[in-house]
Chain A
Amino acid sequence: MNSQHRVYLQPTPVRIWHWLNAFGIVTLIVTGVQIRFPEYVVIFASYKSAIMLHNTAGLVVAASFSLWFFYYSFIARNMLKTYVPNEDELRHGILRQAKFYLLTYFLGWPNPHHPTPENKFNPMQKSAYLAIMFVLVPLVSLTGLLLTNVEPLRNLIILIGGLKILVGVHFLLACCLCAFLFTHVYLATLGHTAFAYIKPMWTGWEEEPETEQNAHDEPVSNHR
């Protein structure tokens, strides 16, 4: 019988932030499709309700981004360590992780990365989340805020290059987020069971099968 190694990986504020984000981003995508293609896609009763819902979900995601930023900057104080890959991760870690996803995973080898509360993301995750949380989400939120206040912020929009550039950037960034969502959800099922990585985002605790490396470790927690 396999024994389990438990790690408290996702503290409560992070889980609240994650699900607020998830709910908000899915709402934004669905309403966004109706807003851009109203003559083809009618999910919500009226165009106005799609717009209002999109604007509200945008504010929720922007607020949840602020929560995330505040938590990692001022409470956990480990934002850089969590999200910025170090030299070793850039030189070797990314390759090692890519090799796992593209080859050794199919051979049945274990994941080379073992998450701990201090280092919960593998090097590829770190790089992806760095781009998403520090570039994609802030930019899509800011362009969205400008688009919902065109007349009062007209001069700022002109400074950026105009409404069309703003709309184009917002749309393409949203497509990138949508593309990320598909990959993110799929990769979340790559644990030793399909829900092994999804469960900790609900309960906080990740259960890993015992390996030689962690067989003698004690359960780890930074929030007990």
Chain B
Amino acid sequence: MRSFRLLLCCGLLLGLTAFAAFAAASDDCLACHSDSATVGKAFAINPAIFDTTVHAQLGCPSCHTSVGAGHPDDGLPPSKASCQECHAEVAKEYAASSHHQNAACSDCHNPHQVRGPTEVSGADMNRTCSGCHELAAMATTHTTWLPQADLHIGMLPCISCHTASKENVITLYIIKRPAAARFGRFELAGYNELKALASHGKIEGLIDGNEDNYISLAELRLFNSDQERTGLRLQGMMTPETVTHNFQILANRRDCSFCHASGPAARQTSYLSLATSDGSYRRLPVERGAVLDALYGTPDFYMVGSTRSTALNYIGAVIIAGGLVVPIGHGTLRFLTRRNRANKED
């Protein structure tokens, strides 16, 4: 038992030493590579973004193994690890899709700015695609078969339909109208804009009033009914939880019922996604079913067929039943008194 503890301590120490060594090495690299004037724009890295990525934890030497003490005076070009060395499964999946002939990993992903799928906004996901597939042109292409194509392309990451990504949830982002434009278009609000509006400097507090990192329906309603004052609104997007790289055109995504007939039960899960200082996004869970609230849960997000409000259904049923009162009630009395009218006609 004692020897096991000793072994564990040694292992931990080794790990920490290695991590410290890589971190120190990264710091050495960034001392030059954070300054574009020194290394040039193509080799400059923004440490504020890089430091928060998973790749930063590995350290620069993990991928650039050939860089030695003589760099850059030795004149040797630094080696680069291929993505598939670590991401073999993803690479295999991507190689099987038709997309791999058109773009390499680095055409879509900057290894020094990598984020997980839940750490980026839906707009960021589509910005990656729009590097080649201009969004306005894509909206036009989709109008040949997709009703309100511009709306769909604005509210859905492309990968929701063009990969077999799974477990779609509703993600809410804070949007803001530019101060100078009274009737301008609402845009995704950046971290600094939101920080300026937050009373205690914590942007979560704009919605999460009790700061419990959980957005209740009451908090959502309060935020939405106060938007006249704050000028902020929520934009909903349907985003995938599990992302795949098998890019393709899926026949079932052309069947509107794939999303629209999924029923309210499938639209219970939603998150609020907030911009952070490093440019990524942080998610807070939202009370289940909030997207289905009749009016003030998510005033600007509605998926026909899937996010209908049960309360409105009941009110509608009462109205229709009211319309049936006359035919049924009057009709019954009419039938019972039919002899009175027959006698008058005689």
A-side residues, CB < 8 A to B, are 2, 35-39, 46-48, 51-52, 55, 101, 105-109, 148-152, 154-155, 157-158, 161-165, 167-168, 171-172, 174-176, 178-183, 185-187, 190, 192
Contact = CB atoms under 8 A, between A and B. Distances in A.
Interface in B303-326: 304-305, 308-309, 312, 315-317, 319-324, 326
A186 B344 CA distance: 22
B294 interface: yes
Nearest to A182: B323
Interface in B256-295: 256-257, 260-263, 293-295
Interface of B: 147-148, 150-151, 154, 183, 185-186, 224, 233, 255-257, 260-263, 293-302, 304-305, 308-309, 312, 315-317, 319-324, 326-327, 330-331, 333-334, 337, 340-345
A47 to B, nearest CB: 4
Do most interface residues of chain A lie in helix, strand or loop, or is the interface mixed?
A: helix
B257 A46 contact: yes
B330 A101 contact: yes
Nearest first, the 5 closest Cβ-Cβ pairs linking A and B are A179-B323, A162-B299, A38-B261, A108-B344, A186-B327
Contact of B260 (A47, A154, A165): A47
Nearest to A209: B345
Contacts of A190: 334
A155 B256 CA distance: 26
A36 B319 contact: no
A152 B183 CA distance: 13
Contacts of B154: 151
Which among A152, A163, A175, A187 has the highest number of chain B CB atoms within 10 Å?
Answer: A175
Contacts of A2: 345
Given A101-B330, A152-B150, A180-B323, 12 more contacts: A35-B304, A36-B304, A38-B260, A38-B261, A151-B154, A164-B300, A164-B301, A168-B294, A175-B319, A182-B324, A183-B326, A186-B331
Contact of B330 (A47, A55, A107, A186): A186
Given A35-B304, A164-B300, A183-B326, A172 B294 contact: no
A186 B295 CA distance: 34
Contacts of A150: 148, 151
Contact of A48 (B147, B224, B320): B147
A176 B256 contact: no
Contacts of A154: 185-186
Contact of B147 (A37, A52, A174, A178): A52
25 contacts: A35-B304, A37-B308, A38-B261, A47-B305, A48-B255, A106-B337, A107-B337, A108-B337, A108-B340, A108-B344, A151-B148, A151-B151, A154-B186, A162-B300, A164-B302, A164-B309, A165-B299, A168-B309, A174-B316, A175-B319, A179-B321, A180-B323, A182-B326, A183-B323, A183-B326
Nearest to B339: A108
A46 B186 CA distance: 34
B308 A39 contact: no
Contacts of B315: 172, 175
Nearest to A147: B304
A149 B150 CA distance: 9
A46 B340 contact: no
B323 A168 contact: no
Given A46-B255, A106-B340, A180-B323, A39 B300 contact: no
Contact of B256 (A37, A51, A107): A51
A107 B336 CA distance: 11
B261 A163 contact: no
B106 to A, nearest CB: 33
Contacts of B321: 179
A175 B299 contact: no
B56 to A, nearest CB: 39
A28 to B, nearest CB: 14
Given A108-B340, A163-B299, A47 B312 contact: no
Nearest to B182: A155
Nearest to A40: B263
A187 B255 contact: no
Most chain A Cβ neighbours within 10 Å, of B224, B320, B333: B320
A171 to B, nearest CB: 6
A176 B295 contact: no
A30 to B, nearest CB: 14
Nearest to A101: B330
B327 A182 contact: yes
Nearest to A155: B183
A185 B224 CA distance: 42
A108 B342 CA distance: 8
B40 to A, nearest CB: 41
Given A108-B343, A163-B299, A46 B256 contact: yes
B128 to A, nearest CB: 21
Nearest to B316: A175
A157 B301 CA distance: 12
